[in-house]
Structure 1
Amino acid sequence: MCICLSILLIIQVNNRKPYHSINFIIAHDGFTLYDLVSYNNKHNEANGENGNDGSNDNFSWNCGFEGETSDASIKALRSRQMKNFHLTLMVSQGTPMMLMGDEYGHTRYGNNNSYGHDTAINNFQWGQLDAGKNSHFRFFSEMIKFRRSHGVFRHENFLEKNDVTWHEDNWDNYESKFLAFTLHDNDGADIYLAFNAHNFFVKVSIAPAPPKRHWFRVYSAHECSRDFTYLFAEVDTNLSSPDDFVVEGVPGIGSTYNVAPYSCILLEAKS
């Protein structure tokens, strides 16, 4: 908390705005987004320096296996994690920065210092982009469009108390890996976000939508109940394409939602 406050104070010097800060998960150095969820350690042997080059601090998690795998469950988890990262970036106040290639899942096979390679390690793979246009790329593209069309993610000034409601009563629990909040829009088009980094489901109560509005969410048949408040939704990273991002929203469940392990949801209030 002290670090966050210090950063906030530094940024606000000379009347600087949220858009003066650059938010990113991945930069040109280090792992790509795909490698961030696929490798625990750097694999720089191809650089000819016996693996001594490149950072040893990658802050990554391979989701249970180092490198390429045919395990469907690990591949699904990696896909989910990439969507989680991308959604988090796109709903953050400030200017987002992406690494070219992350929109289709570019890999450098664990090489985190690849500047010297004029090969597929660094070259843009158009075939992979085409292959993922209806799944991975689709989610990334729709999330960018969603950010651009919703001013609640692009506040002119830093958020104040009335701009956000935190749905949290577990602040003192250092083991907690769940966070939920509502971003309030002036015209009532609020956005509800929940992030679950636990390895188990978290059942949450959804805050009431603004007056004359209903929440929109992704439909999930096994979660239907008789207690309808007409939740409709945009995003659930646990679901496969095209259900992970439904632009118009489809009928869903009532006042609670089971947020899957390692996933996040985005709900939009619509009239």
Structure 2
Amino acid sequence: MLVDSHCHLDFPDFADDRDGVIARAGNAGVGLMVTICTKVSRFPEILAIAEAHENVYCSVGIHPHEAGSEPEVSAQQLVDLARHPKVVGIGETGLDYFYEHSPREAQARSFRAHIAAARESGLPLIVHTRDADTDTNAILAEEMGQGAFPGVIHCFSSSRQLAEEAVALGFYISASGIMTFKKADELRDAFAAVPPERLLVETDAPYLAPVPKRGKTNEPAFVAHTAARLAELHGMSPEAMAGITTANFLRLFSKVPPAAIAVPQDAPPAGPAA
């Protein structure tokens, strides 16, 4: 049984077939999905998707791309929204210096507010970072000194050094389809060095479909391909990696009851979808 720890089921790509996407995930052995909030202004729609599907949970937060355009929220506002039983994470948040759709100062303020909310709520911080390794690690390390909080670097595509620094802070590292790409040898080397007990898998759907689904709209059912490639790197079977990453997910996203991850009666064993 697998978990897609990060997808975006509210995005327009899924509007016409969201129920089908969720059903295909279950039939591919993906027992649970977390649909991630990128705009607090859209949180009601995201929460509605989670409420409508037993095997879907959600987060609350503001993506760094939106930090300059979304209404600025306080840590307490995030904590209050996260009290709903279907909300299991804070974010996604972080720093993106590749696109810089928002001013760096706004990104950093938003990032710290989300960290404070994760610290207060105990829910995991879901971190997006791109071309911002130094500042991401500096903020995480500084804030960790103010009080511990759990978290994950999602869709990890950075250096082995950042992976090691994040793990040292107690973070998890999540593999997306990028890790399966032909030219991602350095990234695979970074993932090979991450302790198995700190690994998660995700799709970031509808983006970044893994090999052999590249070029298609990504969906949660495809997370099995990423998990299988990750298993190869660590010299284990796909079934073993599925078990490890699901156990890791439940440890980090501790608000999710273990009983929420159920195997559909007609579902095959966890493995790449055809």
Instruction: Give the TM-score, by structure 2 length.
Output: 0.28
Q: Which has the higher helix share?
A: 2
Q: Of the two structures, which has the highest relative contact order with CA contacts closer than 8 Å and spacing of 6 or more?
A: 2
From the CA coordinates, give the structure whose radius of gyration is larger: 1
